[in-house]
Structure 1
Amino acid sequence: MSDEPERFPLTRSTLRARVLMVGVFVGALVAMSLSWVFSWGLETPEDRARQAQELAVARREAAFSSPPGSCLTWDKADASDVRKVSCTTEHLFEVVGVVNISDEYPRNARHPDEQTWRTIAQQRCGQSAGEYLKKPLDPFGKLTVGVLRPDRQQWAQGDRKLHCGLQWVAPGGEMQPLTQPAAEINQSNVWEPGTCLGLVGKTVGDPVPCSQEHSYEIIGLVDLAEEFEGFPPPDKQKTWLDRRCSAIAKRYTGGADLGKQGLILSWDVRERPSWKAGSTLVNCKVAATLEDKSGLAPVRGSVHKDAAPPEKDSGAGDRGNGDAGDNGDSQDGGDRNGGGRGGENQNGPGQGEQLPQQNQDGG
């Protein structure tokens, strides 16, 4: 018996049937394709706008139902495009808890103002943050407590659910992106070397290009834990930081004389609560003060050895020479500045000046 499978010849009727079936199948595909093309072509801009709005609403609702451990971000100032993202990518807010304030604010209660929202955030969300981190929250640190709250329409509909979270807010109030889960972030309120912080009145603002008018230029980062096992008194911090920051300034500027440029070297001092929370990093920085010592003077251009010289601008001072403008009220809560000194032509090593504090709004 042959091992080959038995073959059956195709009759004319069988062949005709198969061809007919293939034709029907191809025809169906063509009809479906044409239907899709024509239906897409009939979609109006209004339809696409409505679909985009529905998608944004769905994302917003998903974000506002996110459990603790979720990270959120948005692009619009009112956070109307809030969406959930991975905590290992850039985000603005990490949810640490969800609270309901209907016990204090029933359905007919007025929508709180901004100051009331700050108070609510601290009272209702502060404890959640510490429990979530499983370690103290540095009261002077990088992370602050924030809250995602119902908008006026949601409030009017009776929504009283708040999402408590952790965020990083610059001294001028601009939110900064985070790229790690909050529990993995060192809470020290520091910036990367090369960062320049803006000038608001006579105090510190948000990061700006160093070519623009600014207050501080961050020139280095040091760790107090390299020198001290336990919390060091402020005087010991200052003595050690004077040496370390002076060496960093020499490398950063290529040995430039800061005093001749109207600049002084400064640094931060850590408080005991910060040390307890693990915040041992400190920035070395360069700034200028007004002649009457009432605040920071505007500086334009970087002191880095490879930086281009600042452009001349009659409307603003270069390297600390000029008028700082109207007075800006500084809010307490930032890192304490440990002082600083100028170049060799100043009043000798260690002759420091107390600089204005960086403000940090935790609301």
Structure 2
Amino acid sequence: MSTSQSWRSATAIRTGLVAALAATVAVGTYSYVDGAADPSGDNGTGASGSATTSVVEITPFTTADSGDCLTWDIDESGVVSNFEQTPCSSEHRFEISAREDLATYPSSEFGLEAAAPDLTRQAQLREELCSTATIHYLDGRYDPVGRYSIAPILPPAEAWAAGDRTMLCGIQATDGLGNPVLTIGPAAEQDQARVSQPGECVFFDNARAPHILDCAEDHHLETTAVVNLRETFPDRVPSTEEQDGHLAEVCTAAAIDYLGEEEILYQSTLQPYWATIPSSSWNGGSHSVNCSLMSAHPEGGFSLLKGSATGEFTINGNPPEPQPERDPLTSEGEAEGTAVPGEAGSLQNSAEAPIPQL
């Protein structure tokens, strides 16, 4: 399992907490309903009496099913509210792929007196009940290291205590902390690539998980463009060499456009950088990559940047070193007799790059 997949597994079950945190759920109600007395008045002995038969009827916390979408609000402190069903064509945080009733699970594990499963058990249930169902729901088009992750949603605490054992399996896009973010449209119709937007910066933590943040904070990459490779390769999976050949030109041009002119790129000492898409991710639905700016660390990997390359910034705590004057640029955009600092390169081809995605 790759580092990015391990990070995904650790965060994908965070949605399991959502319904538990949503004390007032807008998509359903739950209660015990007592059965009516036997109209015959027979108490089971053949004689008339006052005894009644009590029937427990459980109303699920939601009627949402496969193909439906859910959304909710999250405040700055992480409190969830306004949990509700919404059309997938509008903003939502979760798309349901399957509806499971844990009461039918072949054991007494989820009986009426059972406690709700903890995060570890939720992760197991995701693999046992949600993964295959969700991939089937997406017709096999799923990139496990892309922007979407598979997750379960359990009933809120009150509904679980009342006997509701509904579990919703589904798919969600998450931020760097694993929190579900708003998306629009069915997942099967989306590019599943995990990308940042121009002007955003990316920092890789010790677990090599990417975090999108403001460029005023310490970071490793500054995004200059999003490139949809399917527009260039509409009918086949491009090889790494084909992607590199195309992106070397595109990402260098993107860096110059982003900074304003080639001379600024030269003086910045930064290099254009990009990711390439492996065939497994391409077939799973990921077709876009980022062009970025980076600085190679002398000992390998990325240097630490702070501040945007469009203004004042530092590389490992120091401003970029002044560069020597160059001869006039040739028609190919290179100075005669003077090398441009650094070389453009692909994240996929860098053995020292922290992570090959984003």
Give the equivalent residue in structure 2 for 1:43: none
* Residue 216 of structure 1 pairs with residue 254 of structure 2: no
Give the equivalent residue in structure 2 for 1:186: 191
- After superposing the two structures, state which structure 1 stretch, 241-250 or 128-137, moved more: 128-137
* Paired AA for residue 121 in structure 1: R
Distance 1:262 1:134, change over 3 A: same
Q: Which runs of 5+ in 2 are unaligned?
A: 1-21, 30-59, 319-337
Q: Which runs of 5+ in 1 are unaligned?
A: 1-53, 311-317, 324-342
Give the equivalent residue in structure 2 for 1:112: 117
Other structure's SS at 1:175 match:
coil
Q: So what's the TM-score if we normalise by structure 2? A: 0.65
Give the equivalent residue in structure 2 for 1:27: none
* Residue 234 of structure 1 pairs with residue 229 of structure 2: no
Give the equivalent residue in structure 2 for 1:282: 289
User: What is the alpha-carbon distance in structure 2 between the residues aligned to residue 151 and residue 279 of structure 1?
Assistant: 34
Give the equivalent residue in structure 2 for 1:96: 97
Give the equivalent residue in structure 2 for 1:26: none
* Paired AA for residue 74 in structure 1: W
User: What is the alpha-carbon distance in structure 2 between the residues aligned to residue 303 and residue 181 of structure 1?
Assistant: 36
Give the equivalent residue in structure 1 for 2:354: 356
User: What is the alpha-carbon distance in structure 1 between the residues aligned to residue 344 and residue 221 of structure 2?
Assistant: 21
Distance 1:215 1:72, change over 3 A: farther
Deviation at 1:256, TM superposition (A): 4.8
Give the equivalent residue in structure 2 for 1:138: 143
Distance 1:82 1:321, change over 3 A: same
Deviation at 1:180, TM superposition (A): 1.7
User: What is the alpha-carbon distance in structure 2 between the residues aligned to residue 155 and residue 165 of structure 1?
Assistant: 19
Give the equivalent residue in structure 1 for 2:250: 244
The 8 Å contact of residues 198 and 207 in structure 1, kept in 2 or not, is answered as yes
Distance 1:121 1:296, change over 3 A: farther
Give the equivalent residue in structure 2 for 1:149: 154
* Paired AA for residue 176 in structure 1: V
* Residue 320 of structure 1 pairs with residue 328 of structure 2: no
Distance 1:120 1:287, change over 3 A: farther
Distance 1:56 1:349, change over 3 A: closer
Deviation at 1:348, TM superposition (A): 5.0
Deviation at 1:230, TM superposition (A): 2.0
Q: 1:303 aligns with which of 287, 301, 309?
A: 309
* Residue 269 of structure 1 pairs with residue 264 of structure 2: no
Deviation at 1:163, TM superposition (A): 0.7
Q: So what's the TM-score if we normalise by structure 1? A: 0.64
Residues 73-120 of structure 1 deviation map (CA, whole Å, 9 limit, x = unaligned): 122335454122232332111112111233153325554332332232
Q: Identify the structure with the greater helix proportion.
A: 1
User: What is the alpha-carbon distance in structure 1 between the residues aligned to residue 101 and residue 266 of structure 2?
Assistant: 55
User: What is the alpha-carbon distance in structure 1 between the residues aligned to residue 357 and residue 244 of structure 2?
Assistant: 21
Deviation at 1:134, TM superposition (A): 3.1
The 8 Å contact of residues 263 and 320 in structure 1, kept in 2 or not, is answered as no
User: What is the alpha-carbon distance in structure 1 between the residues aligned to residue 28 and residue 223 of structure 2?
Assistant: 37
Residues 332-362 of structure 1 deviation map (CA, whole Å, 9 limit, x = unaligned): xxxxxxxxxxx954355659744211679xx
Distance 1:272 1:68, change over 3 A: same
Residues 289-343 of structure 1 deviation map (CA, whole Å, 9 limit, x = unaligned): 54433x5443233334xxxx24xxxxxxx443239xxxxxxxxxxxxxxxxxxx9
Q: How many residues align?
A: 276
- In our comparison, the structure showing a higher alpha carbon Rg is 1
* Paired AA for residue 286 in structure 1: L
Other structure's SS at 2:137 match:
helix
Distance 1:118 1:221, change over 3 A: same
Other structure's SS at 1:96 match:
strand
User: What is the alpha-carbon distance in structure 2 between the residues aligned to residue 225 and residue 138 of structure 1?
Assistant: 15
Give the equivalent residue in structure 1 for 2:127: 122
